[in-house]
Amino acid sequence: MSYILDALQRADAERARGNVPTLNARPVTAPLTNNGPAIRQRAGLVIAVALSLAAAGLAGWLWRPVAQLPAAAPPPAAAATAVLVPLPSPVTIEPRTVAPVTAATPPTATTKPANSASAAEPVVAVMPKAKTVVASAPVITEVTAPAPTAAPLLSELPEATRREIPALVINGAVYSDNPAQRLLLVNGQVLNQGGEVAPALKVVEIRSNVTEFSFRGTRFRLVH
């Protein structure tokens, strides 16, 4: 404030001399004169100018460009705030009193008066039909007897067995569909089926062209 006041005083002194004052000029002490009102007027002017400059500086500082202001840090991401939702109060379930189940009593049959308009329908008892069980006849499977194996010829028997069999000479034979009428003329004898030619040698079956014999359980055939 005093610096500004000194500058104004120097300006007045220079004007009095006819020169334009500068800020670097040395202050010249003017002779003291009786100018009290003028000094007070200049002091008020100086105070007004100082206040104006201060207001202008404050306004310039407040309204400085945004680019000069320090970059404000980006606000942190707002943390998700958990909203506490009040839970509903628990519902109290009162136990129900279950009434005891009583067996339903059958309705009492009321006897209709004799003069009732609708006559009771007769009840017809339906008897179940008896099921007829048909017994299936047992299936009879015919068992076919295996065909008898033809006895070997006398010449096909082992040599030791052939030596034991007595000699046989067939002179003729009579064949018939009736086995009882079949005849064989062998070794001078006429024999039927089952006849004995020699001890342990029997006639088993007589056929039209061959006869079967049995010797000690061994069967063989002889062509005639």
| DSSP designation for 117 | S
Domain boundaries, the chain: 2-29+36-65, 154-223
Q: Whole-angstrom Cα distance, residue 130 to residue 184?
A: 69
Q: What is the pLDDT of residues 114-167, one digit of tens each?
A: 454 444 555 555 565 655 655 666 666 665 656 668 899 999 999 999 999 999
Q: If DSSP states are collapsed to H, E and C, what string results for 121-183?
A: CCCCCCCCCCCCCCCCCCCCCCCCCCCCCCCCEHHHCCHHHHHHCCCCCEEEEECCCCHHHCE
Kindly report whether the global pTM for this prediction surpasses the value 0.75. no
Q: How confident is the model at residue 188 (pLDDT cuts 50, 70, 90)?
A: very high
In Å, how far are 131, 137, 138 from 134, measured between CA atoms? 9, 9, 12
Q: Whole-angstrom Cα distance, residue 210 to residue 219?
A: 13
CATH of domain 154-223: 2.30.30
Q: How confident is the model at residue 176 (pLDDT cuts 50, 70, 90)?
A: very high
Q: Can you tell me which residue has the tokens 């179940």?
A: 128
Q: What is the pLDDT of residues 10-47, one digit of tens each?
A: 777 777 665 544 555 555 444 444 455 666 677 777 78
Q: Give the pLDDT score at 12.
A: 75
Q: What is the bridge-based pairing of β-strands 218-223 and 210-215?
A: antiparallel
Q: Give the pLDDT score at 96.
A: 64
Please answer whether residues 210 and 224 qualify as being in contact, where contact means their C-beta atoms are separated by less than 8 angstroms. yes
Q: Whole-angstrom Cα distance, residue 222 to residue 173?
A: 12
* pLDDT greater than 60 at residue 175: yes
Q: What is the pLDDT of residues 46-94, one digit of tens each?
A: 788 788 888 777 777 766 654 454 555 555 544 445 555 556 665 566 6
Q: What is the pLDDT of residues 206-218, one digit of tens each?
A: 999 999 999 999 9
Q: Which two tokens stand for residue 163?
A: 């030596």
Determine how many CB atoms are found less than 10 A away from the CB of residue 43: 13
